[in-house]
Amino acid sequence: MQLGNVGTAMVTPFSPDGTIDYAQTTSLLEHLIANGTDSVIVSGTTGESPTLTVTEKKELLDFVVKVVNKRIPVIAGTGTNNTAESIELTKAAERSGADGIMLVTPYYNKPDQKGMYAHFSKIANVTTLPVLLYNIPSRSIVNLLPETVIALSKIDNIIAIKEASGNLEQMAEIIEGTADDFEVYSGDDGLTLPLLAIGGRGIISVSAHIVGNEMQEMIQAFQNGNIKEAAELHRSLLPVFRALFSMPNPVPVKYALEKAGVPTGGVRLPLVAMDENEAAIIDEALEKFEKRTRIL
């Protein structure tokens, strides 16, 4: 499984009645593939996984795998705070033809490091699929510490981590303590370039729905040694990143997709749509970015 430079944590399109809109899912996937996405993550946080039923997750994944048709890797978000349910979803991902799975740190029940090691290792040991760990303490409360990640990286099919702790020192410790082929991805769009600078691989992004090509350009500039160009692109993108996280994810990015001509519908409760003042923040950031991009 090669996630590439930019993996997109895909939103889940919904119809006006709240069901999954498969026609718009097709349009979204074509948009992402054409605009800088190297791999796609289905039913993650941005896909509103807490409000998707197990059946919906399985059916959505089956559909995405068929539409993508091996053009880019499809990663299934199969992690939950229930190990048995995570195994059920992981086995369904195998049957669907997914290229890998993403396992988030268990939320709400607050396991310790031993519990998280047991949880992740048990799931990894029942599948042949590559595993992307996902550490996001702001949502799950628990922080998957570097020593636990390093221990888990010794399991053959645990090959990468999406690190959304916001702690570059923690990320550096993981990079230093794992084998060269274990990859660390940022889970925060704004830390993409700083993570690359300490040896990280890339980004699992929300903003790539809107600025995927620009994020690819930034990463490729860095990889080619054009540090000044990469830094300029990074600075130009930061206001977009901030705007797209100015409200609970994925409310802002779904609004931005609508403006970009890629409608994905609303969000499910308990999330709600933005009001006019909140939407104006997104509008202003995108307009300023477009103007600055033309200058650059």
Residues annotated as catalytic are 134, 162
- 3-class DSSP assignment, residue 165: coil
**DSSP state string for 20-86:** B-HHHHHHHHHHHHHTT-SEEEESSTTTTGGGS-HHHHHHHHHHHHHHHTTSS-EEEE---S-HHHH
What is the residue whose two structure tokens read 């600025």?
211
CA pair distance 189, 244, nearest whole angstrom: 10
DSSP conformational letter for 247: S
Where do the DSSP E strands lie in 87-201?
100-104, 131-135, 158-163, 183-186
Residues 6+ apart with CB under 8 A from 289: 211, 236, 237, 239, 240
> For residue 41, what are the β-bridge partners?
9, 75
